[in-house]
Amino acid sequence: MLSAYISDSEADLRAASQQAVELALRAGGREASASAASSGGLQLGLRDGRLETAVRSGHRSLNLTVFREGRVGSASTTTFDADAIQRLVQEAASIMQWAQPDADNGLADAADLAHDVGQPLRYEPVSDDAAAMAEEASDIERALRAVEKPAGTELRTSEVGLNCSEMLSVMVTSSGFSRASLTSHHVRWCTALAARDGAMARDYAQSMARRRSDLRGADWLAERALRGATGQLGARTVPSATGPVLFSPRTAQVLIEDLVGALMGTAQYRRASFLAGALGDLVAADHLDLIEDPFEPWGLASGAYDAEGVAGSRRLILDAGVVGGYFLNSLNARRLGMRTTGNASGPYNLTLSSRRPGGDGPAMRRHLGTGLLVTAITGGHTDPTTGHWSRAVEGYWVEDGVQRFPVAGITLSGDMRTMLRGITHVGDDVERFGSFRTGSILVDAMHIGGRA
Amino acid sequence: MINPPHMDWARRLILQPNQLDEVELSRALEQLAAGADFADMFFESTKSREWRLDNGKVSAGSFSIGQGLGSRAVLGDRVSFAHTSDLRPEAIRSAHQTVQALTRLGGGTAAAPQVRLVPQLTDHGLYSRKDPLASADLLPWVQLLEKVDMLARAAHPAVRQVNASLSSAHRVVLIANTDGQLVADARPVTRLFIHVVLERAGTRAQGSAGVGGRYGLEGLTDEAVGSVVSQAVRVATVNLDARPAPGGVMPVVLGPGYAGVLFHEAVGHGLEGDHHRKGLSAFAGRMGERIAPDTVTVLDDGSLPGRLGSMGVDDEGTPGQKTALIENGVLTGLMQDRLNARLMTMTPTGNARRQSYAHLPMPRMTNTFLLAGQEDPNDIVASVGRGIYAPRMGGGQVDITSGRFNFTAVEAYLIEDGKITAPVKGVTLVGVGHEALRHIRAVGHDWALDEGIATCGKAGQTVSVSVGQPTLRIDEMVVSGSV
């Protein structure tokens, strides 16, 4: 076995999946698909430099979906013994018998299966042990203490977290698909609680990667968290106004999430989307591209195939502001009279870019001129059907391109369709958050709710 | 056995299939506690079933079996923890070896304690001891969702899409600790959630609603189902006509029930023991202070029958109970688990909760609500010159350090000259906990809890809760909207 953290072998997982598929066909299924996964990892949590929690995790799961003439049933279990697999099959088959048929249900079309699409790089054996991770945590803690703070400001409390994990999964279908995949994952984070004159503020920084060497260093994390926390001390409200808003890279990802949500197959066929039927339409500023790439080496959302065994493709979701594609699985694709895009497990790596680059952070603030820089979105929601966007935010007030004072306790609202068209610049200050990569985003006009 | 008590469920589903008994568990605890001053084992066996109505058909269903053990050793304020879904004795020994090694990493050297477990035969009567998934007959599930589809489509001619999910779970937990406690709890949950999309002249709007509780399918009466359907359709109808809200500071009247998420966010999270021990809460060090008018009493009560936040015993074996958080405007209580209570020399309050065996317990809210006042809700609305009336909420968040909280209304109206007038698009309301409490002007007599679909997220763990309140006026809140 390659891994220190996974207790099952590929052969074990394949045997459990195959058995589930075979039994499902015997129980009346015409088609079936099963996937088994085993994962494990280690997480340490420190507060003020002292080890507080140490957690060794271990998960297993076996999922089965069985089809018969448009009827479908599924079941999952965390134990793989013979009795549990029997029960799994029996429950899935029983649901299949009672379910109402929908002709669009079924496995992915055989022609779409990614039997030999190459797996992008996603795995490096995790060698971290608890002692090494504790040492690394101390480095982050030391870095936090070392960051220079404004006069009169103290670092009241710090928290540091480290996590590493590995996952092995196997997928088998009755249509002949059978592949295994292995991934590794590392996270490091820290939070800083800063205090000055009785006021407290907290911020965090996080780095996530498939291999350890791609993680941000201790200094970067410490700087980020502490600068965010001290910067928010003494935050105040601003009068209600309508004006330009600059979203930091961390907050800009919320706009991409809302856009992606509107282009998901389920939202499209239900027409519960503010971009219902928008394929081929200009929906965003015409300098914007959104690229999806399933094959980026070491990408957090890279993969050779989705939960149905279908590969994605490198493609433009937004092409100069025009919708180039939806995110579809087989069921939603059939309902829409389209073909699956291999997104049964969600979107792959997405990068937003502008054909008119907006420059670095300071340049973006100059484009903003006078207005709100949003650095945290603390709550609120987007109505996925109407696109009405309403959030509680924090950030800074900027005047003539210069950051003046921290702002909190305000609301921000707008309409997603108007906001997407109103994006004037995307910065070169690109950062990656999970599967999204974007720079800061400048929107020409939004409504700020504050106190006069 | 049709109605076995809680411990019998645990024996049947957890101990017997894995050849475990009190003696075996005692030895395992002794191994786990080596180097530590307290240890516990949390076993879980959960079955759940969900059916979905999609595109006019009850065409999807799923079933899941989840079982596992989370083993924890505590030394001072340090916690070592390992979890496994493999419950065979050798797998448990291996997990406990891992915990021992982690405890030593934290400096633990204490000798292993002697453990003698005494089973606790609880029968709290807070919820049914029946397994909601016992029947193999799935027809009632399909029929209930068919009825939802029919009712929703009949409720309004503009209904285009009806989606719903109906789910039940039976979660049996068994807790054993080095104090000799061995206690089980079998918790049923059933929930119905409905989402509708209306379309009229090219304009679309959605509405959703749900109902749930610690019961089986029998808890979803015709009346309850009818009420959820009409709420979802009403919210969508209102949103078809909604216009942008005015933005800025204004009085806000919150309706009874789920709007009590205000107290969950503005008060509750700031009164969780861990946040106080770590000095993170804006309320830290303010016990005994008056922070609200004397009409304001806020309780957390995990012993309400049938509610999703209720637990016969919490996830550390402490009985669910009532804790006053604010009494007549004065800050009075914290919600505690064992770890934080011990470190703060306080008493556990039955608030230790965990998402699953794979998560560590933390102090969490159960059913948290503002008690009823005296005023007529109509008079409260009539008292507002210009403001917002928000009867139904989406979710909320709080930054416990600054006390800043926000929540989103999914159904809201303008109040003009004391009258509820035009519907406005979903608004986000922002405030600071202690300021909002001071600005509570009027508390109605129409107390209600939410319909039973509230969940709460903290440190990546989600648990079911209830929230509640009567109609309430707050004089000043920041409202999102166009100017």
In tens, the pLDDT along B86-102 reads: 898 989 999 999 999 99
Other CB atoms closer than 10 Å to residue B23's CB: what's the count?
A: 10
Q: What tokens appear for A175 in the block?
A: 């249509």
Closest listed residue to residue A109, CA positions, set A293, A318, A328: A328
Q: Residue B82 and residue A241: Cβ atoms within 8 Å?
A: no
DSSP E strand boundaries for B10-77: 38-54, 57-75
Question: Nearest-5° angle of CA A227, CA A229, CA A234?
Answer: 110
pLDDT tens string B305-347: 999 999 999 999 999 999 999 999 999 999 999 999 999 999 9
Q: Cα(B402)–Cα(B267) distance, rounded to whole angstroms?
A: 12
Interface of B with A in 27-46 (CB under 8 A): none
Task: Name which of B204, B278, B280 is nearest A386 (Cβ-Cβ).
Answer: B204
Does B3 score more than 60 pLDDT? no
Other CB atoms closer than 10 Å to residue B306's CB: what's the count?
A: 15
In a domain, A2, yes or no: no
Residues A297/A121, Cβ–Cβ less than 8 Å: yes
Class level of CATH domain B6-241 = alpha beta
Tokens 């503020």 map to which residue? A201
Residues A133, A268, single domain; the answer is no
List CB contacts (< 8 A) between B48 and chain A.
none
Closest listed residue to residue A301, CA positions, set A356, A257, A241: A257
Does A2 score more than 60 pLDDT? no
List CB contacts (< 8 A) between A59 and chain B.
85, 358
Q: What domain range includes position A254?
A: 241-449
Amino acid in position A303 = G
Q: Residue B478 and residue A381: Cβ atoms within 8 Å?
A: no
Does A307 score more than 90 pLDDT? yes
Q: What pLDDT was estimated at residue A451? A: 85
Q: What pLDDT was estimated at residue B4? A: 61
Q: Residue B239 and residue A88: Cβ atoms within 8 Å?
A: no
Residues B268/B282, Cβ–Cβ less than 8 Å: no
Best probe of the A interface among B62, B281, B393, by most A CBs < 10 A, is: B62
Interface of B with A in 147-166 (CB under 8 A): 160-161, 163
Q: What tokens appear for B159 in the block?
A: 């209904």
Sign of the CA dihedral B105, B108, B109, B114?
negative
In a domain, A1, yes or no: no
Amino acid in position A129 = D
Closest listed residue to residue A13, CA positions, set A68, A60, A65: A60
Q: List the single residue in B with minimal CA-CA distance to A384.
A: B206
Q: What is the 8-class DSSP label of residue A110? A: G
Q: Cα(B72)–Cα(B85) distance, rounded to whole angstroms?
A: 15
Q: Cα(A441)–Cα(B5) distance, rounded to whole angstroms?
A: 58
In a domain, A175, yes or no: yes
Residues B403/B430, Cβ–Cβ less than 8 Å: no
CA A358 to chain centre: 25
Residues B83/A125, Cβ–Cβ less than 8 Å: no
Best probe of the A interface among B42, B59, B75, by most A CBs < 10 A, is: B59
Closest listed residue to residue B196, CA positions, set B209, B187, B185: B209
Q: Residue A381 and residue B432: Cβ atoms within 8 Å?
A: no
Task: Name which of B62, B141, B204 is nearest A385 (Cβ-Cβ).
Answer: B204
Residues A247, A228, single domain; the answer is no
Q: Cα(B323)–Cα(B254) distance, rounded to whole angstroms?
A: 24
Supply the CATH number for residue A193's domain: 3.30.2290.10
Q: Residue A201 and residue B402: Cβ atoms within 8 Å?
A: yes
Residues A248, A139, single domain; the answer is no
Residues A267, A211, single domain; the answer is no
Give a three-class secondary structure readout of A290-354. Answer: EEEECCCCCCCCCCCCCCCCECCCCEEEEECCEECCCECCHHHHHHCCCCCCCCCCCCCEEEEEE
Size of interface A-B (CB pairs under 8 A): 264
Q: Judge whether B12 is closer than 8 Å to chain A, CB to CB.
A: no
Interface of B with A in 410-429 (CB under 8 A): 425-429
Residues A16, A163, single domain; the answer is yes
Closest listed residue to residue A157, CA positions, set A226, A215, A110: A226
Task: Name which of B58, B66, B430 is nearest A409 (Cβ-Cβ).
Answer: B430
- Look up the ipTM and state it: 0.93
Residues A164, A311, single domain; the answer is no
A228 CA to chain B: closest CA distance, Å?
14
Q: List the single residue in B with minimal CA-CA distance to A198.
A: B282
Residues A214, A302, single domain; the answer is no
Residues A164, A272, single domain; the answer is no
Q: Which is more confidently placed, B136 or A39? A: A39
Q: Cα(B262)–Cα(B109) distance, rounded to whole angstroms?
A: 46
Q: What percent of chain A has pLDDT over 70?
A: 99
Cα dihedral value A136, A139, A140, A141, nearest 10 = 120
pLDDT tens string A315-347: 999 999 999 999 999 999 999 999 999 999 999
In a domain, A124, yes or no: yes
Residues A309, A327, single domain; the answer is yes
Q: Residue B64 and residue A76: Cβ atoms within 8 Å?
A: yes
Other CB atoms closer than 10 Å to residue B432's CB: what's the count?
A: 20
Q: Residue A57 and residue B82: Cβ atoms within 8 Å?
A: yes
For chain B, the straight-line distance linking the first and the last C-alpha, in angstroms and rounded, comes to: 64
What is the bridge-based pairing of β-strands B57-75 and B38-54? antiparallel
Residues B101/B165, Cβ–Cβ less than 8 Å: no
Query: What integer best gives the mean pLDDT of chain A?
Result: 96
Closest listed residue to residue A4, CA positions, set A124, A103, A110: A124
Q: How many domains does chain A have?
A: 2
Question: Nearest-5° angle of CA B256, CA B261, CA B264?
Answer: 130
Q: Residue A7 and residue B483: Cβ atoms within 8 Å?
A: no
Task: Name which of B64, B102, B482 is nearest A447 (Cβ-Cβ).
Answer: B482
Q: List the single residue in B with minimal CA-CA distance to A159.
A: B278
What is the bridge-based pairing of β-strands A436-438 and A441-449? unpaired
pLDDT tens string B151-171: 999 999 999 999 999 999 999
Q: List the single residue in A with minimal CA-CA distance to B411.
A: A383
| Residue B116 burial (10 A CB sphere; 0-12, 13-18, 19+) | exposed
Amino acid in position B77 = D
Task: Name which of B136, B282, B404 is nearest A94 (Cβ-Cβ).
Answer: B136
Sign of the CA dihedral B326, B332, B336, B340?
positive
Rg (CA), chain B: 24
Q: Residue B67 and residue A447: Cβ atoms within 8 Å?
A: no
Residues A117/B124, Cβ–Cβ less than 8 Å: no
Q: Residue A56 and residue B81: Cβ atoms within 8 Å?
A: yes
Q: List the single residue in B with minimal CA-CA distance to A385.
A: B205
List CB contacts (< 8 A) between A93 and chain B.
none
List CB contacts (< 8 A) between B397 and chain A.
378-379, 392
pLDDT confidence band for B483 (50 / 70 / 90):
low
Q: How many residues does chain B have?
A: 483
In a domain, A5, yes or no: no
pLDDT tens string A250-289: 999 999 999 999 999 999 999 999 999 999 999 999 999 9
Q: What tokens appear for B171 in the block?
A: 């979660």
List CB contacts (< 8 A) between A79 and chain B.
65, 67, 85-87
Q: List the single residue in B with minimal CA-CA distance to A102.
A: B59
- The full set of domain ranges for chain B reads 6-241, 248-479
Best probe of the B interface among A390, A407, A415, A446, by most B CBs < 10 A, is: A390
pLDDT tens string B180-236: 999 999 999 999 999 999 999 989 999 999 999 999 999 999 999 999 999 999 999
The pLDDT of B439-447, averaged and rounded, is 96
In a domain, A3, yes or no: no
Residues A258, A295, single domain; the answer is yes
Does B348 score more than 80 pLDDT? yes
Residues A194, A134, single domain; the answer is yes
Q: What percent of chain A has pLDDT over 90?
A: 94
Q: What tokens appear for B434 in the block?
A: 């202690």
Q: What pLDDT was estimated at residue A357? A: 87
Best probe of the B interface among A6, A59, A67, A79, by most B CBs < 10 A, is: A79
Rg (CA), chain A: 24
DSSP E strand boundaries for B302-437: 322-327, 330-331, 352-353, 362-363, 367-370, 386-399, 404-416, 419-424, 428-432
Closest listed residue to residue B234, CA positions, set B26, B31, B404, B392: B392
Q: Cα(A104)–Cα(A337) distance, rounded to whole angstroms?
A: 10
List CB contacts (< 8 A) between A97 and chain B.
138
List CB contacts (< 8 A) between A452 and chain B.
248-249
Q: Residue A383 and residue B239: Cβ atoms within 8 Å?
A: yes
Residues A290, A411, single domain; the answer is yes
| Residue B47 burial (10 A CB sphere; 0-12, 13-18, 19+) | buried
Q: What pLDDT was estimated at residue A106? A: 97
**Residue partners of B357: CB distance under 8 A and separation at least 6:** B42, B43, B44, B67, B68, B69, B70, B83
The pLDDT of A185-191, averaged and rounded, is 97
Q: Judge whether B83 is closer than 8 Å to chain A, CB to CB.
A: yes
**Residue partners of B445: CB distance under 8 A and separation at least 6:** B372, B373, B374, B375, B376, B377, B470
Beta pairing partners, B252: B388, B474
